[in-house]
Amino acid sequence: MGAQGLTSPDLNSDDALNALRAAIGANLSAAVDLPPPVPMSLRSAVSYALLGPSKRVRPVIVHLIAVGLSKIDPVAIQVGAAVEMVHTASLILDDLPCMDDAATRRQRPTTHRVYGEATAILASIALLNRAFGVLAALDIPDPSIRLRLIEILENSVGWHGLVAGQELDILGNVDGDRASAEHLNWLKTGVLFCAAAEMGGILRGLEADKLAHVRDFARELGLAFQMADDIIDRTATQQDAGKDVGKDAGKSNVVNLLGLEASKQACAEHLGRADNSLVLSGIDPAPVRALINRHFNPSITA
C-alpha cells in the first residue's frame, strides 16, 4: 500500500479523527433541526437520511485538506456539511425502487422504505438545494471564494458528475470493459471526493499547481473507495456492510471484471498513487493516512 501510516496507526490521530467526526455530526444535526412550518414528514425524512450512522468520509477529507487535525475549523466543517448533504441526496436517489431498489442503507431501512418514495425524493432535493445555500452563506469575507466553491460543487453533481454516473449505472456497462467500469467509478465516487478535496485546498489557500495534486490525490482515493465498496458488495454480509450487498452481481463493475485478488491489488495501487499525490501537494499526510488506515480493512488492501 505504500503509506507508512497503515502499519502503525497513530492513536492521537485516531482520537482527533473521532473528535472531528463528532463536530461534523453536531453541525449536520443542527443544520436539519428544522422548526415548523417545515412539514414534519419532510423534516423527519431529511434528518433520518442525513443523520444515519456514517463515517463522514467526505467532510473529514474537506477538513483534513483544509486545516488538518490540529483544530476544528467552523468554515471547513460547513463546507464538509454541504458535501455530505449532496452525498446523502445521491444515496437516497440511488436506493429508490426505480434505481437500485435497496432496502438497507447506513444500517437502517432506506429512506423511501420508511417515508415513501415521494417524501424521500423531496428530502433528496431539499438536501441538494440546501448544500448550495450553506456554501453561499459561508463566513468567508471574499464572496468570489464562495462562488468558486459553489461552482466546484455544481460541476461535481451535474451531467458531468454524479448524475451522469447514476444514469450510466442504470444503463449498465454496455462496453463491458475495465476502462468503462473505471470511468463509472470516477463519476459515481471520484468526482465528489475530488470536489471535497479541492474545496478543502481552496480553504487552505493552495495555488493551482498544489490544487492539481490535491485533485489527483482525491481521484485515486475515490477510485480506491469505490473499488473497496464493490469488494464489500461481493464479500461482506449485509450486517457488516450496513447496506444491501450482492446488488452488483452480474454487473460489469471493476471487481467483477478483474476478480477479487486483482481488485485488491488495484485498490492498493490506487491508494499508493493517492499517497504520492498527497505528498506532492505539500499537505501533512499523517492525518489522511490515519483516515485511510481506519477505513480500509486489511482484508481489502492486503
Nearer to its own copies, 141 or 298 (CB): 141
> What residues numbered 124-183 form the site for its own copies, per CB under 8 A?
124-126, 128-130, 132-133, 136-137, 143-144, 146-147, 150-151, 154-155, 157-160, 163-164, 166-168, 170-171
* Residue in 67, 82, 93, 192 binding its own copies, rule: CB under 8 A: 93
| Among 7, 37, 70, 261, interactor with its own copies by CB under 8 A | 37
Q: Which residue has the cell 467483477?
A: 256
Told to check if 98 binds its own copies by CB under 8 A, we report: yes
- Rama region for 39: left / alpha / beta (φ>0; ψ in -120 to 50; rest): beta
Q: Which range in 73-81, 122-130, 205-213, 230-238 contacts its own copies by CB under 8 A?
A: 122-130
Long-range contacts, 209-215 (Cβ 8 Å, 24+):
210/281, 210/282, 211/281, 213/277, 213/278, 213/280, 213/281, 213/282, 214/65, 214/277, 214/278, 214/281, 214/283
298: contact with its own copies by CB under 8 A: no
Specify which residues 105 forms β-bridges with: 108
Closest to its own copies by CB, 94 vs 275, is 94
Q: Are 24 and 77 within 8 A, CB to CB? A: yes
| Residue 114 in contact with its own copies, rule: CB under 8 A | no
Whichever of 26 and 125 has its CB closer to its own copies, that residue is: 125
| Beta bridge partner(s), residue 109 | 104
Helices (H) and strands (E) in the chain, counts: 16, 2
Least distance to its own copies from the beta carbon of 34, Å?
Answer: 6
Does residue 122 interact with its own copies by CB under 8 A? yes
CB of 294 to its own copies, least distance (A): 31
Cα–Cα distance measured from residue 243 to residue 103, given in angstroms and rounded to the nearest whole number: 8
Q: How far apart are CA 219 and CA 188, in angstroms?
A: 11
* Nearer to its own copies (CB atom), residue 2 or residue 116: 116
Cβ of residue 125: shortest distance to its own copies, in angstroms?
Answer: 5
Q: At a CB cut-off of 8 Å and minimum separation 6, what does 285 contact?
A: 3, 5, 275, 278, 279
The reply on whether position 197 binds its own copies by CB under 8 A is no
132 backbone dihedrals φ, ψ, rounded to 5°: -70, -35
**CB-based contact 292:55 (threshold 8 Å):** no
Q: Which residues bind its own copies (CB under 8 A)?
A: 34, 37-39, 41-43, 46, 89, 93, 96, 98-99, 116-119, 121-122, 124-126, 128-130, 132-133, 136-137, 143-144, 146-147, 150-151, 154-155, 157-160, 163-164, 166-168, 170-171
